[in-house]
Amino acid sequence: MKRPFVDAQTLRSIASEYPTPFHLYDERGIRENARRLHQAFAWNPGFKEYFAVKATPNPAILEILREEGCGVDCATLTELMLAEAVGFAGHEIMFSSNMTPFEDFQLAHKLGAIINLDDLTDVEYFQRLPSIPETVCLRYNPGGNFRLTNEIMDTPGEAKYGLTRTQLTEAVTQLLQLGVGKFGLHAFLASNVTSNDYYPTLAKMLFEVVRDLQAETGARFTFVNLSGGIGVPYLPGQEPADISRIGAGVEQAFQDILVPEGLGHLAIMTELGRFMLAPYGHLIATAIRHKNIHKNYIGLDACAANLMRPAMYGSYHHITVAGKEDHPCDHIYDVVGGLCENNDKFAINRHLPRIEQGDLVVIHDTGAHGFSMGYNYNGKLRSAEVLLRMDGSTKLIRRAETPADYFATLELPIPSSRT
Ligand SMILES: *Cc1c(COP(=O)(O)O)cnc(C)c1O
């Protein structure tokens, strides 16, 4: 059974201070999970997690992760600017972009980030930078299907990312000539995988490619970047990934493949987003409408503009009602927002306790790829983000948008009815 990280009484008092809807984050959960990750990879002295900023681009969250020893993984100019503003610098920043504008490379270079090249043509861009970085990462795309114990997990052959195996050799050769001294290898082959085999399988593949590339080109590899992709149990009863077993599985592959080749110095890096944050965020909304037609609807003051995953991917997000966590789920509802778009449904045919107008509805596992995928369709405004701190106090870490924000990019007076 999934329970919110905050009890109903606390939640009501938070909601009396910050109007719904808002995203609420649990500092304790974030820190404890980050410590479990570091524990699982403690066998690798160079281990570093680069939190994927796109998952939760909030400075207060990035600061917490920084205190826990994490760096950041950025993909765009503004993500780099955010990282810089929070105080990340140099090799605390991984820049894993694709179809990259030159301007973005310039800023990544200026900040001293590790640049993760996504294509052979990026090497040409590289030569236009003020200097050639000492360290470069390369993103690998093996093509075909990616399987775990015979189940097809994803189809890299259809993915726009990375270099082919032959292009890797070509890129390393060219970069060596340009004076690059240290290399890393990266791949991201499947998303939201709770199987404990994903990282170990990916690691084995990357370790073998590093071994072969080093033998072919003489290049010195110093790290392997396993990227993101570890999943979280969105469904009640779903088995979570066991990070200590995952760490041990990667260590086994490391011992089997790298250590015998004299490559035991390689650092393991990760770019987890979802695993670091998803379970530690809730979208808090108020039930504002009941509607009974061919089906029974609960209308929330939140909508897909606050959490796009159900509309975009049909994703399951667990829902509880504050104070009714243990009530029988003897009603069937579609829980919806107010967009003029029929996929604006947080849940379809969901068994829930009876919901009254004014009930606080908790949508679970929204801490990653939640707020950040928000948009302004129908003129809906982005919500606030609130941090529930270790000591039980709360902090507004992003204010809600106002109509003035919505009108900010237009040369239009704001209608006086709302000023
Ligand atoms: C999105 C992304 C991540 C994070 O993925 P999660 O599924 O949130 O772990 C990491 N690296 C890159 C390059 C990404 O695009």
The residue to mutate among 227, 277, 309, 373, having the most atoms of ligand 1 within 8 angstroms of its beta carbon, is 227
Could you report the per-residue pLDDT of 292-303, keeping only the tens digit for each?
999 999 999 999
d(CA 331, CA 316): 18
The model's pLDDT over 88-120, given as tens digits with 9 standing for 90+, comes to: 999 999 999 999 999 999 999 999 999 999 999
* Domain identity same for 244 and 312: no
Query: Pick the residue with more confidence: 415 or 12?
Result: 12
Whether 126 is covered by a domain: the verdict is yes
Whether 153 is in a domain gets the answer yes
Q: Quick one: which atom of ligand 1 is closest to the CA of 116? A: 13
> Left, alpha or beta for 132 (phi > 0: left; psi -120 to 50: alpha)?
beta
Do 374 and 265 belong together in one domain?
A: no
Residue that terminates a domain, selected from 214, 249, 278: 278
Distance 360 CA to ligand 1 centre (A): 31
Count CA atoms within 13 Å of residue 166 on its CB side.
0
Where in the sequence is the domain holding 84, given as residue range(s)?
A: 28-278
Give the number of the atom of ligand 1 that is nearest the alpha carbon of residue 275: 9
Structure confidence by residue, pLDDT tens digits, 389-412: 999 999 999 999 999 999 999 988
| CA-atom Rg of the chain in angstroms | 23
Task: Say whether both 267 and 313 belong to one domain.
Answer: no
Same structural domain, 71 and 107: yes
**Across the chain, what does the average pLDDT equal?**
97
176 occurs within a structural domain: yes
Q: What is the pLDDT of residue 418?
A: 62
Residue of 292, 296, 337 lying closest to 317 (CA atoms): 337
What CATH number should be reported for the domain holding residue 393?
Answer: 2.40.37.10
pLDDT at 419: 56
**Tens of pLDDT, residues 246-272:** 999 999 999 999 999 999 999 999 999
Q: Is residue 357 part of a domain?
A: yes
Judge if 52 and 111 occupy the same domain.
yes
- Name the 3-class secondary structure at 133: coil
Q: State the closest ligand 1 atom to the C-alpha of 272, by its place in the atom list counted from 1.
A: 9
Percent over 90 (pLDDT), the chain: 96
Q: How many domains does the chain have?
A: 2
In this structure, the answer to whether residues 205 and 327 fall within a common structural domain is no
Closest to 253 (Cα-Cα) out of 329, 197, 178, 215? 197
DSSP class per residue in 358-400: T-EEEE-S-TTTTGGG---GGGPPP-EEEEE-TTS-EEEEEPP
Are residue 265 and residue 286 in the same domain, yes or no?
no
Query: Which pLDDT belongs to residue 417?
Result: 73
* Residue 267 and residue 305 in one domain: no
Domain boundary among 227, 243, 278: 278
Q: What CATH number is given to the structural domain containing 98?
A: 3.20.20.10
Q: Does 4 map to a domain?
A: no
Which of 160, 271, 280 to mutate for ligand 1's pocket (most ligand atoms within 8 Å of CB)? 271
Compute φ and ψ for 313, nearest 5 degrees. -115, -5
Q: Is residue 5 part of a domain?
A: no
Chain segment 218-247, per-residue pLDDT in tens: 999 999 999 999 999 999 999 999 999 999
Q: Domain check: are 264 and 284 in the same one?
A: no
Beta bridge partner(s), residue 363: 283, 319
Residue 2 lies in a domain: no
Say which residues have a Cβ less than 8 Å from residue 375's Cβ, sequence separation at least 6: 305, 308
* CA of 414 relative to ligand 1 center, distance in Å: 38
* 92 shares its domain with 149: yes
User: Ligand 1 centre and the CA of 226: distance in Å?
Assistant: 10
pLDDT 10s digits, 306-347: 999 999 999 999 999 999 999 999 999 999 999 999 999 999
Residues 139 and 161 in one domain: yes
Top mutation candidate among 33, 65, 73 for ligand 1, by most atoms within 8 Å of CB: 73
My answer on whether 303 and 233 are in the same domain is no
Decide: residue 84, CB within 10 A, 0-12 exposed, 13-18 middle, 19+ buried. middle
Residues flanking ligand 1, CB < 6 Å: 52, 54-55, 73, 96, 188, 191, 227-229, 271-275, 368
Q: Is residue 15 part of a domain?
A: no
Indicate the residue among 259, 278, 297 that finishes a domain. Answer: 278
